């Protein structure tokens, strides 16, 4: 548990953004015999960067360094899944995710008690369409384009109880943005039923720039099932308004994750 509201907020915002960056995006399905698939996975994440927003005391910027244990402690509920559809040439990939984080802190200050409750949700999804531009026995390369939608919603309550002051303050706000995505996917067969997949994606429009690199191995261990392990790195910057504005919000961070996934294919 954190000892004050500011440290609680420092943990909440980057954890939520990170969970969306780590939501499952299948990159293992670029083989003609795989027509459709859907799956999910588990991952461990980390984020490092800067968070900025307005408080009752004015705008603040906080350096954040979130470890997997912090993310685990704050998660109230979460789900995410991804899938694909292909005709052997065109490749459609999609993912959806939702995360709710919550924390409550009670701090005695003399005869006065300060209680804070923070709830943060992030939701969104993306879809991309890929088309092959090179295919050989050693590598297949596709160009990708699509859209990504992201929404952050924040709700906090500050309660002060004591012999002199008794008050409660609540604050809610949300931000959402949509990025146009462009990038490329590289699939390298390394053994029967095994492939090494790498994906590079850049997003612009709603954010000030989001760059993602994902790489990992995929194993088709059954006619209808496949599994994979992947590492992912994302650099993202989003800013709404300017520091000092009532609706100012800043997220500028590097996010990384490693994870396992499983897909059902048909």
Q: In the predicted model, what is the mean pLDDT of residues 160-167?
A: 82
134-154 pLDDT, tens digit per residue, is 999 899 999 999 999 999 888
Q: Is 155 a residue whose pLDDT tops 80?
A: yes
CB-based contact 87:110 (threshold 8 Å): no
Q: Please tell me the predicted confidence (pLDDT) of residue 190.
A: 92
Res. 34 pLDDT band, cuts 50 70 90: low
Count how many residues are written for the chain.
266
Domain regions of the chain by residue span: 5-265
Q: Please tell me the predicted confidence (pLDDT) of residue 16.
A: 37
Q: In the predicted model, what is the mean pLDDT of residues 232-254?
A: 91
Q: How far apart are CA 6 and CA 156, in angstroms?
A: 12
Q: pLDDT averaged over the chain?
A: 83
Tell me the HSE value of 199 on the side-chain side, using a 13 A CA sphere: 25
Q: Return the higher-pLDDT residue of 102 and 218.
A: 218
Class of domain 5-265: mainly beta
Q: Please tell me the predicted confidence (pLDDT) of residue 44.
A: 86
Copy the structure tokens of residue 46: 């980390």
CA 212 from centre of chain = 11
Q: Is 10 a residue whose pLDDT tops 50?
A: no
47-99 pLDDT, tens digit per residue, is 899 888 887 667 888 787 878 888 788 888 888 899 999 988 899 999 999 88
Q: Please tell me the predicted confidence (pLDDT) of residue 129.
A: 96
Copy the structure tokens of residue 20: 């969306």
Q: Please tell me the predicted confidence (pLDDT) of residue 1.
A: 35
Res. 105 pLDDT band, cuts 50 70 90: confident
Q: Please tell me the predicted confidence (pLDDT) of residue 125.
A: 93
Q: Hey, which bits of 7-139 come out as E strands?
A: 36-55, 58-66, 75-86, 91-109, 112-135
Tell me the HSE value of 140 on the side-chain side, using a 13 A CA sphere: 22
Q: Please tell me the predicted confidence (pLDDT) of residue 158.
A: 81
Q: How far apart are CA 47 and CA 62, in angstroms?
A: 13
* Residue 76, Ramachandran bin (φ over 0: left; ψ between -120 and 50: alpha; else beta): alpha
Res. 165 pLDDT band, cuts 50 70 90: confident
Q: How far apart are CA 189 and CA 1, in angstroms?
A: 47
Q: Please tell me the predicted confidence (pLDDT) of residue 15.
A: 37
Query: Percent of the chain having pLDDT more than 90?
Result: 43
Q: In the predicted model, what is the mean pLDDT of residues 184-198?
A: 94
200-231 pLDDT, tens digit per residue, is 999 999 999 999 999 999 999 998 999 999 99
Strand pairing category for 225-240 and 249-265: antiparallel
Q: How far apart are CA 98 and CA 65, in angstroms?
A: 22
Strand pairing category for 36-55 and 58-66: antiparallel
CB-based contact 137:100 (threshold 8 Å): no
Residue where the block lists tokens 């083989």: 31
The winner for highest mean pLDDT among 7-21, 44-58, 222-236 is 222-236
């Amino acid at each position: 548990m954190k000892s004050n509201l500011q440290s609680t907020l420092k943990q909440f915002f980057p954890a939520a953004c990170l969970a969306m960056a780590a939501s499952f995006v299948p990159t293992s399905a670029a083989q003609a015999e795989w027509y459709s698939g859907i799956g999910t996975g588990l991952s461990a994440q980390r984020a490092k960067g800067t968070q900025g927003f307005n408080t009752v005391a004015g705008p603040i910027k906080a350096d954040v360094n979130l470890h997997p244990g912090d993310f685990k402690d704050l998660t109230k509920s979460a789900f995410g899944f991804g899938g694909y559809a292909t005709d052997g040439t065109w490749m459609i990939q999609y993912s959806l995710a939702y995360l709710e984080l919550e924390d409550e802190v009670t701090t005695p200050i003399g005869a006065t008690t300060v209680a804070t409750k923070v709830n943060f949700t992030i939701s969104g999804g993306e879809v991309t369409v890929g088309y092959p531009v090179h295919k050989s026995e050693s590598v297949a390369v596709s160009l990708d384009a699509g859209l990504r939608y992201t929404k952050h919603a924040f709700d906090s309550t500050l309660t002060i109880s004591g012999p002199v002051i008794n008050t409660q303050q609540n604050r809610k706000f949300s931000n959402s943005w949509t990025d146009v995505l462009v990038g490329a996917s590289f699939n390298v067969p390394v053994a029967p039923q095994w492939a090494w997949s790498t994906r590079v994606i850049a997003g612009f429009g709603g954010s000030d720039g989001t760059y993602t690199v994902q790489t990992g191995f995929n194993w088709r261990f059954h006619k209808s099932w496949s599994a994979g392990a992947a590492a992912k790195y994302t650099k993202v910057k989003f800013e709404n308004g300017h520091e000092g504005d009532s609706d100012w919000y800043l997220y500028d961070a590097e996010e990384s994750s490693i994870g396992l996934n499983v897909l059902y294919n048909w």
